[in-house]
Amino acid sequence: MDASQIILQTADRVQDLLSGEGTGHDWFHIERVRRTALAIARDEAADPFIVELAALLHDVADWKFAGGDHEAGPRQARAWLESLDVSAAAIDHVCGIIAGLSFKGAGVPTVMATLAGRCVQDADRLDALGAIGIARAFAYGGHKGQELYDPAVPPTPHDSFEAYKKGSASTINHFYEKLLLLQDRMNTATGKRLAAARHQVMEQFLEQFFAEWDGTR
């Protein structure tokens, strides 16, 4: 099976799995990350086959929906790619990207070892920023039953992945615990440029949110 057939079958599989998902980790999220990752890969001269496969498969079994099992995603991706007879080296590369992709807490480094991985990580983080990032944050917060905001509960700068996984504060706190930190964690020049604009959108949103919360605007 050639690369284009592998990509096509993988896209069809992921679309079947994630269409209609309601937390912001749906097929359209995958498709946005795929497009952005490929655009960054062109700028960075990264391997487009690895980048596209990792982007397509990065949320097939996200730990947030797999009982906190952060090995579930790489495990399911590996099984799928083995069924398509993808080379062992490519499978290891893609699964390594998926395993290291996620944000794991403000105090936890998430260094991506390969150029292809850095492209996918930036693309995934960009989709957590800006207007779409705001919408996704509240979709996921609603799914978890989180409050919009509680002024009595300050944000927590989690210093371990285990602490981050157990966090259950308000959606507004999530901006300070993760989303506003992503701009400084971008790997590529393209990612940094796009993140700066989207970061500003979130800051403007929060300014308006707190003004309305206080009844001053």
pLDDT of residue 64: 67
pLDDT of residue 102: 85
pLDDT of residue 97: 95
Q: How many domains does the chain have?
A: 1
Let me know if 128 is exposed, middle or buried by CB neighbors in 10 A (0-12, 13-18, 19+).
buried
pLDDT of residue 96: 95
Structure tokens at 78: 């590996």
pLDDT < 70 stretches in the chain:
63-69, 163, 167-168
Residue type, 138: F
pLDDT of residue 65: 56
For residues 159 and 201, give the distance between their C-alpha atoms in angstroms, rounded to a whole number.
27
Let me know if 217 is exposed, middle or buried by CB neighbors in 10 A (0-12, 13-18, 19+).
exposed
For residues 81 and 57, give the distance between their C-alpha atoms in angstroms, rounded to a whole number.
10
Q: For the domain that residue 138 is a member of, what is the CATH number?
A: 1.10.3210.50
pLDDT of residue 33: 97
Residue pLDDT, tens place only, 36-47: 999 999 999 999
Please tell me the pTM assigned to this model: 0.93
171 within 8 A of 146, measured Cβ to Cβ: yes
For residues 71 and 75, give the distance between their C-alpha atoms in angstroms, rounded to a whole number.
6
Q: Which domain holds residue 75?
A: 3-213
Structure tokens at 144: 């978890």
